[in-house]
Structures are given as structure tokens and as C-alpha cells.
Structure 1
Amino acid sequence: MIRAAKLLVKIVLWFIGISLALVLLFKFVPPPVTATMILNGDGITKDWESLGNIDRNMVTAVIAAEDGKFCSHNGFDQEAIEQAIKRNAEGGRIRGGSTISQQTAKNVFLWQGGGYFRKGLEAWFTFLIETIWGKQRIMEVYLNVAETGIGTYGAEAGAQRYFQHSAARLTKTEAARMAAALPLPQKRSVTNPKGFTRRYGNTIAARMGVVRRDGLDACVYD
């Protein structure tokens, strides 16, 4: 038992050390590849761009669509988590309450899918990136690693794929449509959205005005 306990302590210490080293490294260096990119098996098209080279409309759109409290929470939206737990307890399709910070932690350091073990690791990495990276870096990384289409990752690659121009000059409508497709980028159309995706894109476009008016994206541009 003592030997097993010592081994467990060593494993935990190694994990903490490696995770800290990776988070510190990726504060300055773009993550070269993620588990999602490798495991999807659809090829990898990506083009890293600094936050300053991504139109503010894209930042506003993902906050409007994914995480309206991005600038005010510490990585976890307690209210959204509680609502997700309540909905899931009622049955039907499982829904999450993940923030942009949690999604970034998952996309960069972990794998897709659920499970309490992975969610626990996600919470740890979310805490680390909120503490070490800060909001601007989290948003920059998120907009470069999020899946924006089949085999396509990041705002720049998505903008080139769908609109044939740089993410530096996305219109409000273009950004809203890309954000609307983010939860299911392999199934939702960006260039010719129909039904729910089109309505959701219009809703996001309307919310973008609220985000800008209320300064809900201000932490990204301090």
C-alpha cells in the first residue's frame, strides 16, 4: 500500500509538472496540433493568426453565441452549469454548460467526448489557462484551434474556406454564421445556412449588438 501510494504521488506530481510546462509554453507558442485534429482523420487545414489579425466581429460573435459571461467569469459559468444539470436530469439530448475557456482547455490539451475523468482534467486545465494565459490569450487560442469545418481549424482557415478572404475583415453576418456552425461544424452549413442554422445565425447577429453595447468583449481588448 505504501509503495502504491508513493507511485500515485509521483504520477500526480509528474502530471502537474507536465501540464504546467505545456500551459506555460502555449502562452507564447501556438499549439502545433491537437488531439481533435489528429483523431478526426479528415486532414488538417489551419493558419494561425494573432488576435490582432482576426476581425473583432468574430470575437463578438463567439461571445454572443457561446459565452456571454466570458469577460466576467473565472473560467466556469456556475449558472450555466446548473441549468445544464437540470435539463439533463429531465432527459433528452445531453447538453453542456461549457465556457469558451473550458472549450479551449479541452480543444488544446484533451479530447472530445464526455466522462467525469475528462471533465475533471478539463477543469484543471481551465483553471491553469485562466490563471496563466488570461482572457486575451484564451480567446486567441480558441479562435485558432476551434473546428470551423471538416478538417478546418481556426477563424482564418474558416474564413478562407467559406468566404475566400482573410478573417481580418469578416462582416457581422459572416462572423455570425461561422459562430452558428461552431457547435456542429461538420453538419451545419456556413455559406448557405438553412432552417435552424440560419435562424440561429440571425439571433447571434442581433446579440452581437448587445455584446458590443454592454462591453461584454471588453476584456479581450483592454
Structure 2
Amino acid sequence: MGTAWKATIRWLALLVLAFIALQLFFVLRIALMAVLDPESTTFQRSQAWQQLASQGTLRWRQEWVPYEQISPTLKRAVIASEDDGFANHDGVDWAAIEKNWERNNRLAEQAAQRQEAHPDRQIKPVKIRGGSTITQQLAKNLLLSGERSMLRKGQELMLTMVLEQFLSKQRILEIYLNNVEWGEGVFGAQAAAQRYFRKNASQLSSAEAARLAVMLPAPKRFEKQPQSAYLNGRTRVIMGRMGRTELP
């Protein structure tokens, strides 16, 4: 066996060991979250660096509150808006993924047909809808970078399963609601409730909770468009769903 081949094998072995070590690190961090609140997430740190780089200052609002001090209306609204099967799935909602896959393919075909029929027009791109659950979103924001690749998606799925194995549904939702972004430098339910409604997270009404939940896919955009037609209409839809939403 040549020297170059031996060197290649050594490098591959080191890569495998590094990968295993990284997974063990992730598992240990998640296991500790059963009793320790995470001080920050990978996503939050990346947002802080972006703020410092672009503005030279750091605006940051976050105050951890226990699960019991977050209004049930907000828990129901977020689940209704983001992941209505949260209480029952094992971290991945395969039915929702299949449904959205079919929907995306159908709309893509329709867009292609419209483009073919009107080649001189600029057809609006199809808005791709995913199927990420609350647990998947937490796995991504807690520990992973924002890059989009099959490797990162596979890592996200693995961490999702670990989160579901080590943490209760209530704990997953508690960590999610205390760390999710709700605007420029606004993280967590307590900071969001104070920022938009000048009250604590435990005091949110159904309408206020639904509005916060609707902001989640694009909080920075909706922060600047608080009276958008979409935000108002979607808020009413989520309010209608909240009564049927199951809490963990």
C-alpha cells in the first residue's frame, strides 16, 4: 500500500472520528437541556454578528420565562400556525411533508403551463411550502447553520429525533417559545409580548397570541408591516383553529 493511500485512509478515519465526536457533542448538549436552559442558539448568535457587522451595535431583547408563565393562548396559536400535529408526532410530520410535496409539484406544473401559454409574461415563482415541525425548527436554530443542503437536512432530522428522545413535548415547546425570533433582535415570547403589546407573555389575549404566531415565518418583515392584509387575515384563520389545538 502506497504512502499516498495510507495518508488518505488516515484522513478519512479522522473525518469519521470528528463526525462521531460532533454527534456526541450534540447529544450531550441536548441531554443537558432537560435540566438547563440554553443561554443562546446558533441562529441567535449569527443574527447578533450580522447586527454588529451591519449596524455596529447590538439590539437584543430576551427574557426566559418558564412554560407555566407563557399564556396557553400563545402555545395554542403557535402550534395551530406552525405545527398542528405537534402533540402527537415523533418530531417529523411525514403526512404534512407528503401533502406539501404534492402541493408544490402541482403548483409548479401549473406555473410551467402558464409560462408556456404566455412566454412573454413573467410568471410569479411558486412559493415552496415545507413541512418542518416545531421540533425540526428548534433543532435547526439551536445547533445548526443556516445553509441549505441535503447533508444539513439529514443532520437536522437526526437532531430532531434526539430532541424527541431526551426532552418532553412541553420542554421542547418551552425552549422553542423562549428562543424563537419575533423581530429585529427580539427573541422569545416574553420579549415579543412586551415589544408589541406592552404586557407579559402570560397575559396575551387570543388575538394577540394569534398575531404573534402568524409573524413567525417572517418576523422582521411583519414587524415593519403590522397592518398588512395577510397578517390580519391569517390572524383570524389561526384564531379559528386555536380551539381545536391540542397542547402537550
Same topology, TM > 0.5 = yes
- Alignment-mate amino acid for residue 76 of structure 1: V
Long gaps (5+) in structure 1: none
Q: Deviations over 1:16-63 (max 9, x none)?
A: 211111111222222112222222234321111110110111100011
Which residue is 1:185 aligned to? 219
SS in 1 for 2:220: coil
Long gaps (5+) in structure 2: 1-7, 52-58, 109-125
Q: Deviations over 1:137-192 (max 9, x none)?
A: 10000101110111100000000000111001111011000001011000114994
- Alignment-mate amino acid for residue 72 of structure 1: N
Which residue is 1:33 aligned to? 40
State the distance in 1 between where 2:235 and 2:95 align. Answer: 24
State the Cα distance separating 1:121 from its structure 2 match. Answer: 1.2
The alignment status of 1:11 with 2:18, answered yes or no, reads: yes
2:186 to 126, 141, 152: 152
Which residue is 2:29 aligned to? 22
Which residue is 2:121 aligned to? none
Normalized against structure 2, the TM-score is what?
0.81
SS in 2 for 1:210: coil
State the distance in 1 between where 2:204 and 2:72 align. Answer: 8
State the distance in 1 between where 2:86 and 2:154 align. Answer: 20
- Alignment-mate amino acid for residue 196 of structure 1: Y
Normalized against structure 1, the TM-score is what?
0.90
When Rg is computed on C-alpha atoms for both structures, the one with the higher figure is: 2
State the distance in 1 between where 2:148 and 2:210 align. Answer: 27
| 1:162–1:191 contact (8 Å) kept in structure 2 | no
| 1:178–1:190 contact (8 Å) kept in structure 2 | no
Give the length in aligned residue pairs.
Answer: 214
State the distance in 1 between where 2:224 and 2:65 align. Answer: 21
| 1:189–1:197 contact (8 Å) kept in structure 2 | no
Please provide the CA RMSD for this pair: 1.7
Which residue is 1:48 aligned to? 64
- Alignment-mate amino acid for residue 32 of structure 1: E
SS in 2 for 1:72: coil
SS in 2 for 1:153: coil
State the Cα distance separating 1:99 from its structure 2 match. Answer: 0.4
State the Cα distance separating 1:109 from its structure 2 match. Answer: 1.0
- Alignment-mate amino acid for residue 74 of structure 1: D
